[in-house]
Structure 1
């Protein structure tokens, strides 16, 4: 184990490079720095009205299907608010069936195809709004980008080169990488994959508790560990796909 710890310390940057972050569409949604005081505590419960015809809007998306007007979304609207999800009591806990339904509902209203016959300015707004809805959905759908997003909104940034500080954990990651690289039969990799899935589940549960307590420093450390574990998951899946 001492040998593994030494190698973990020496090769930390190499392992970090092999644990890529979850990638999300960037072309249509600019990166934003969020401030703590902009975080909505709860999705708005009251129905908003169209500023043109004053009829109730069909959902959180600022598009009216009564008078067919669509409006730009303010930059500080959160993913939770855009999809009509509660931020409190825990922004990390997302009911996936509800998320998927809200996403479908939102896209049915603002998808560019629905505004194809409208004037160019409306089509441009619809395209930007649809991209924003898609980005919000993809971010909240999976635990890693969801955790990174919540941390970012609370002023805690995780960079591409941030590493896990737990050397025991790093030694386990390196050992898992070597097991995959040197594997000779699928059963060995499947066993590692199953063990890694248990670690991912445990880390996600830990993040639920940390975000509930608003312990963002510890949540950052757990999120970085989750990034490494998902890297092992991808590597094991690739090995199985190719053998």
Structure 2
């Protein structure tokens, strides 16, 4: 019998533990709850004009790039990632229709892709590069739950740094045991890694659901704690899948 087996049983027992409510977990840095005025200031947006300012024709996307008269303009200030794709920020900015996001990204990218403005003036080409870069940044952020919640936290005055950790010892024991299993696993332990991935995926789904509920309630410090947990769980997911790629 492999020497890994006892460790596997212990770790799988840990990984079967349900994720406890976020209010039971803490982060190292305790920030004061932002005031409603502070939240409103960070979450305020400036609507993107729906008509071209040059020819008054309807714009095909949320970007100020018009194919009718070949004009392109800078983005208004304080535009959110959601605004760029015409996605609702209220009532819950964490809830994003991914099929709509992908469709509108393709449409917007076609409207502002630098190749489409290659024959225009250098100023217009520069604007196209700026719009395209901002569009890609916003798309990648909204596409994935972790950068999405990090962005929402920043919008509401509760930024999440790379060094913050949870203080929940049981949760950290789960993470450490899972990493130990992955690091010490041999090709004979493929079934164990498969099961670990499945359990970790379930924990990720539960954490994402928790984040969505907390965002809707504007419990930003609890959202932050849940986002940190999601960061750890996604780290386990990457490590386990990298192991599978290496050993299959």
Same fold (TM over 0.5): yes
Q: 1:208 aligns with which of 202, 206, 212?
A: 212
> Does residue 190 of structure 2 align to residue 192 of structure 1?
no
- Give the C-alpha shift of residue 241 in structure 1: 0.9
CA distance in 2, matches of 1:38, 1:196: 34
The one-character-per-residue Cα deviations of 1:172-227 (angstroms, maximum 9, x if unpaired) are: 10011111111122111111011000000000000010000011100000000000
CA distance in 2, matches of 1:158, 1:38: 15
Q: 2:43 aligns with which of 39, 43, 53?
A: 39
Q: 1:181 aligns with which of 180, 183, 192?
A: 183
Indicate the residue corresponding to 1:72 in structure 2.
74
- Give the C-alpha shift of residue 74 in structure 1: 2.8
Deviates more, 1:179-188 or 1:47-56: 47-56
Question: Tell me, which stretches of 5 or more residues in structure 1 are unaligned?
Answer: 5-33
The one-character-per-residue Cα deviations of 1:134-167 (angstroms, maximum 9, x if unpaired) are: 1100000000000000000001111111001211
CA distance in 2, matches of 1:130, 1:58: 15
Structure 1 outlier segments of 4+, above 3 Å? none
Q: 2:222 aligns with which of 215, 218, 241?
A: 218
Indicate the residue corresponding to 2:160 in structure 1.
158
After superposition, the CA RMSD in angstroms is 1.9
- Give the C-alpha shift of residue 68 in structure 1: 0.5
- Number of residues of Structure 1 aligned to a counterpart in Structure 2: 209
CA distance in 2, matches of 1:126, 1:151: 29
Q: Contact conserved, 2:110 with 2:116, CA < 8 A, in 1? A: yes
Question: Tell me, which stretches of 5 or more residues in structure 2 are unaligned?
Answer: 1-10, 12-37
Q: Secondary structure at the match of 1:91?
A: coil
CA 1:47/1:76 → structure 2, altered by over 3 Å: closer, same or farther? closer
CA distance in 1, matches of 2:80, 2:156: 12
> Does residue 235 of structure 2 align to residue 231 of structure 1?
yes
TM-score by length of 1: 0.82
> Does residue 245 of structure 2 align to residue 241 of structure 1?
yes
Question: Where do 1:68-147 residues align within 5 Å?
Answer: 68-147=70-149
Q: 2:60 aligns with which of 53, 58, 61?
A: 58
- Give the C-alpha shift of residue 40 in structure 1: 4.1
